[in-house]
Each structure stands twice: as structure tokens, then as C-alpha cells.
Amino acid sequence: MGMTEMQKLEAGLPYRYDDPELVAMKDTASFRCAQHAAVDPLDAAGREAAARELLGEAGPELDIQPGFHCDNGKNIRVGRRFTANFNVTVLDGAPVTFGDYCMVGPGTLIATTGHPMDPQGRRDRLAISKPITVGDDVWIGGNCTIVGGVTIGSNVVVAGGAVVTKDVPDNCVVAGVPARVVKRLG
């Protein structure tokens, strides 16, 4: 018997994103995101509890502002004192891992999932998901995009509006489309 679409996703192979098992996973994540959004904005403890239900793993001092969306949630792991500002989207078909003391600016998209370049693959509703890893002490500015397969080192600033398509070394500032190192830190 062949692999299920979920097994293909987990193996890093192309998979059909409209598979019923994957759609059910996304529906569950959407429900949990809606629960998080329904918490009184003044109830920080309630927001944190709802976020912990959504994520796979979270260290102490978790702060996720309203407007957070993901398509699995359980593939997201964040370290100590993680902050996601308003309207952050994490498409976590593959694992997304943040180190300690990371901040994600408003309107940012972190997308492990991409689609084929050929039209037939898109017509067949294929996708492929690649992990994203973010080190410690990283500030991702507002309205950034981080694509699948990228590793961002520690002590990095991703300037607002940047599109990160390649790995980023430690101790630097990256900016632009596509993002490139514009300054070394420390």
C-alpha cells in the first residue's frame, strides 16, 4: 500500500493538500485559532492559555496577540519569552521552531508550504512543506515573509518587509526582497 498524504507531508514529499485528513487538521487549527481570537484582549493569561492549546510546545512567557493563524499549530515550537504581534500567520505543514527571546512583528507570514512551479502540479493541488528554524534573540519585523527550508541564526534582525528565501547567519541584520545581510552585529 502507498503512503498516505499525511505520511508524504511528514516525509517532505509532494502531497495533496486537499486530502481529507489534512483538511481536518487545518479545520482543528482554525477552530483553535478562533478560540484564541475569542479571548478578551485584556485577558493576557487567557490568551496565553489558548495559545498553549494551539501550539506544539511553548516555553515560559508566551504572548501571541489576536489575529494569529496557522494550519496545524502542533508543528510550532517556541522557546522562552516568545512574542507574536497582531495578524501573524504560520503555515506549519512542516515544523517551525523558534529559540528563546524571539519577537515576530505584525502582519508577518511564516510559510513552510509551497507549491509546484508547473501548472499541472498546482491543478493537482500538490504542495511540499519544508521546516523553518529560527535561533535565539531574533526580531522579525513587521510584514516579513519567511519561506520553507530557511534557517535563521541567533541574534538576527529581519528588517520590516523583508522576504527571507535563504539561510541567515548569526549576528546580522537582513533586509530587502530577497533579504540579504546589510549589517553585522556584535
Task: Please state, rounded to an integer, the average pLDDT across all residues of the chain.
Answer: 96
- Catalytic sites, residue numbers: 115
Q: Which of 149, 158, 150 lies closest to 181 in space, CA to CA?
A: 158
Q: Strand 113-114 and strand 126-129: pairing?
A: antiparallel
Distance CA 144, CA 106 (A): 9
Which grid coordinates are listed for 179?
A: 533579504
CA torsion through residues 35, 37, 38, 42, sign: positive
What is the pLDDT, as a whole number, of residue 186?
A: 84
Is 1's pLDDT higher than 80? no
Q: Is 84 helix (H, G, I), strand (E, B) or coil?
A: strand
What is the pLDDT, as a whole number, of residue 41?
A: 86
Q: Compute the average pLDDT of residues 1-8.
A: 92
Instruction: Quote the Cα angle for 168-173-176, to 5°.
Output: 80
Would you tell me the crossing angle of helices 44-54 and 20-38 to the nearest 10 degrees?
170
Distance CA 110, CA 133 (A): 11
- Global pTM reads 0.95
CATH of domain 5-184: 2.160.10.10
Segments making up each domain of the chain, as ranges: 5-184
pLDDT (tens digit per residue) in 116-166 = 999 999 999 999 999 999 999 999 999 999 999 999 999 999 999 999 999
pLDDT (tens digit per residue) in 21-57 = 999 999 999 999 999 999 998 999 999 999 999 999 9
